[in-house]
Amino acid sequence: MLQLESLKVWFPIRRGIFPRLVGHVRAVDGVSLNVAAGETLGLVGESGCGKTTLGRAILGLQKLSSGRVVFQGVELNSLRGKALRQMRRNLQMVFQDPYSSLNPRLSVQELITEGLQEHRLLGAESRDEAAARLMLEVGLSPESRYRFPHEFSGGQRQRICIARALSLQPRFVVCDEPVSALDVSVQAQILNLLIELRQKHQLSYLFISHDLSVLRLISQRIAVMYLGRLVEYGDSQAIMDEPLHPYTQALIAAIPVPGRQRAKPQAPSKLA
């Protein structure tokens, strides 16, 4: 469904009174991967490794330096105007912080149906019905659709974000650490909801996380990202059982194991 070919996102470093280019920050440096229809691909790495930048680049929210994003056989970075607008309906994103990603001045119904209104897909009455249906689907009461984001808990706000992402009936969703800002008791509920929605709607996810224990539950395959590059990529169970790269080994060693201690391999040097 989705293929990334040698994707690069480099940010220029300029210095001096008359800024001159002295180098680049290689946030994403030659990443190639694919996501099949109905699959969840987990993308794991430490903060600053380029995970979120990669997710934003796929959706066109971050300009590419080079490379190709191909979705259902169509190269997204070659589309313009109406064709790009129509294709973007198929790709959505669930952000890490549900509160900051919701406009506090809009009601839940307005937030969920904002995309429908922008793309002029339904009339006002049909949009209201769609909002009620989507709220039920994510486990919220439709009666609360006239309330505002600050009136909900963190887990409920993330459910609103998921409903908004589903409103345009996408085929591919980037989940950018959607449970990291939530209480542990709520994380499992949101993960189970995402799994149910994937199965029901045949969605494909790129699930971004810094926690391999979360990806083990939700992903069929895992890609490990370090300093802008993929250092390991394969079946989830194989990576968890027999990690090959020292950085992957360090991530697995960091997972809490009740009742016993594990040695923590050192992550590879940034100069290596």
**Domain positions in the chain:** 1-90+207-272
Alpha-carbon span 139 to 143, nearest angstrom: 12
HSE (side-chain half, CA atoms, 13 Å) at 43: 28
pLDDT at 184: 85
Neighbours of 171 (CB within 10 A): 18
- β-partners of residue 40 are 205
Both tokens of residue 94? 């669930």
Rounded to 10 degrees, the C-alpha dihedral 122/127/131/136 comes to: -80
Q: What length does the chain have? A: 272
HSE (side-chain half, CA atoms, 13 Å) at 238: 11
Both tokens of residue 245? 């790269």
Print pLDDT tens along the chain (272 aa): 899 999 999 999 999 888 889 899 999 999 999 999 999 999 999 988 999 999 999 998 999 999 999 999 999 988 888 888 888 889 999 998 888 999 999 999 999 999 888 888 888 888 889 999 999 999 999 999 899 999 999 899 999 999 999 999 999 999 999 998 888 889 999 999 999 999 999 999 999 999 898 898 899 999 999 999 999 999 999 999 999 999 999 999 888 777 655 555 566 665 54
Furthest CA-CA distance within the chain: 60
Both tokens of residue 165? 């992402």
Alpha-carbon span 113 to 131, nearest angstrom: 6
Residue of 53, 57, 92 lying closest to 77 (CA atoms): 57
Rounded to 10 degrees, the C-alpha dihedral 166/171/172/178 comes to: 20
Alpha-carbon span 161 to 259, nearest angstrom: 37
pLDDT at 88: 86
Alpha-carbon span 41 to 237, nearest angstrom: 13
**Yes or no: domain 1-90+207-272 corresponds to CATH 3.20.20.150:** no
Alpha-carbon span 125 to 131, nearest angstrom: 10
pLDDT at 264: 56
